Structure 1
Amino acid sequence: MSAPAPSRSFCGLRHGATDWNRRGLFQGRTDNPLNEDGLAQAHEAASMLRGVGISRIVASPLVRAARTAEIIADAISVPLTIDDGIIEFDFGSFEGLPVRDLMLKHGVNSATGLVSILPADGENWDAMTERSLACVSTWLDNYLDDHLLFVCHDAVMQAWRSHFPAAISRTATARRFATSANATNGVSSKSSLRTNVTGPCR
């Protein structure tokens, strides 16, 4: 089965930082909260997203994403819904292990390389891509008049990026995922938030 293609442009935002992010650990379904930096980043994102035109937010149920989304939704006064479809990738036995150590052990140096060494006891990468894009497509089709922001995770957004290689304007963490017809309509730098850590693992 091929991943469903969203019918129009949408925005994705990665959650703020947690202690595991700062330690460079694989963080999938472990439900770690935002740390002080992450809370500050969420408030910064809220300030940056004022006036951008977001009218509805959908967030992963994991607390680091849900709390980031709640802060933004309260600040810009838009509805927020939690959806399991954009929950983070399940890293299986890699969960909680140092990302850099595993990269060195397996001789990989990129996000693509990491995908190639994922353990069999975790989620299937293609299945995660399918369910997360299906979630996005459902929201876009059901709320045609809304400008949607999906607050989720780096692995999920890495998967989306692989389906829109020429149609993403990346501004740190805030990214606009566009159909080819709308590829030039990038997210304003005003809506960026630098919380990214390289790799599909947080």
Structure 2
Amino acid sequence: MTTICLVRHGETDWNACGRLQGKTDIPLNDNGRTQANQCGMYLAKSDWDVIISSPLKRAVETAEIISSYIVQPTILTMVEFIERDYGDAEGMTFAEKRMAYPDKQYPNKEKRELFDNRIMDGLCKIQEAYKNKRVILVAHGAVIKALLNGLSSGIIETNHTRLQNACLSKIEFQFNSWNIHEFNQTAHLL
């Protein structure tokens, strides 16, 4: 059985003020570093084989902090798990987006099908490379939502659920299918 703990990166200044980040490369803020440390302390209670991260700063920094608590894993980055590109809407607050794009059609936004395919390809690569291993995957809100939505065939409705920064979700591959065991867990955050 392959187990993946999906970790949303810690908070950034743009998260704190409600700006859409997308592929814009924003580092963690102090609260985000605290959240990453809390994830690391919690995840250190189990054994892990590898940590995989999106290459964006906020995810890599979260992964590095988590790694400092875990004995063996090194960090690998996979571009498949980079956040969705929101095009011209990146950097805007929720109010600014609603005003400029009430139909949510952001110019130059990454197409949904391409985004979903990219993420699912990454998941297949993890399953092939780390069969029967325990993996921490540090990624982004839209990436984790898309994974959970795809794996549940839309049963887990994530469009109206905000994934908290540094939340944990757990999926397992067993008997040729992925199963979701936890979603948006935050009990480890103080």
Give the TM-score category using the shorter length: 0.7 to 0.9
What letter corresponds to residue 152 of structure 1 in structure 2?
A
Deviation of 1:93 after TM superposition, in Å, equals 0.4
Q: Where does 1:31-180 land on structure 2 (aligned, <5 Å)?
A: 31-77=25-71, 78-103=73-98, 117-165=104-152, 166=155, 173-178=167-172
What letter corresponds to residue 30 of structure 2 in structure 1?
E
1:93 & 1:117 partners in 2: Cα distance? 11
Deviation of 1:154 after TM superposition, in Å, equals 0.3
Q: Which runs of 5+ in 1 are unaligned?
A: 1-6, 108-115, 196-202
Deviation of 1:160 after TM superposition, in Å, equals 1.0
What letter corresponds to residue 82 of structure 2 in structure 1?
I
Q: Deviations over 1:46-104 (max 9, x none)?
A: 00111233221100010000010011112112121011110111010000001244347
2:150 & 2:33 partners in 1: Cα distance? 30
2:11 & 2:26 partners in 1: Cα distance? 10
1:150 & 1:137 partners in 2: Cα distance? 13
Tell me if structure 1 keeps the 8 A contact 2:168–2:182: no
> Which residue does the alignment assign to 1:199?
none
- CA pair 51-20 structure 1, distance change in 2 beyond 3 A: same
Q: Which stretch of structure 1 is more off in the superposition, 117-126 or 79-88?
A: 117-126
- CA pair 15-193 structure 1, distance change in 2 beyond 3 A: farther
Q: Which stretch of structure 1 is more off in the superposition, 95-104 or 117-126?
A: 95-104
Tell me if structure 2 keeps the 8 A contact 1:55–1:148: yes
Q: Please give the TM-score of this superposition, normalised by the length of structure 1.
A: 0.76
Q: Which stretch of structure 1 is more off in the superposition, 158-167 or 90-99?
A: 158-167
2:55 & 2:92 partners in 1: Cα distance? 22
Among all aligned residue pairs of Structure 1 and Structure 2, give the percentage whose two residues are the same amino acid. 26
Aligned length: 179
1:147 & 1:159 partners in 2: Cα distance? 21
Tell me if structure 2 keeps the 8 A contact 1:167–1:184: no
Q: Deviations over 1:13-58 (max 9, x none)?
A: 1100110000100101111111100111110100011123322110
More strand, by proportion? 2
Deviation of 1:183 after TM superposition, in Å, equals 3.9
1:88 & 1:96 partners in 2: Cα distance? 14
- CA pair 104-119 structure 1, distance change in 2 beyond 3 A: closer
2:180 & 2:22 partners in 1: Cα distance? 32
1:179 & 1:104 partners in 2: Cα distance? 42
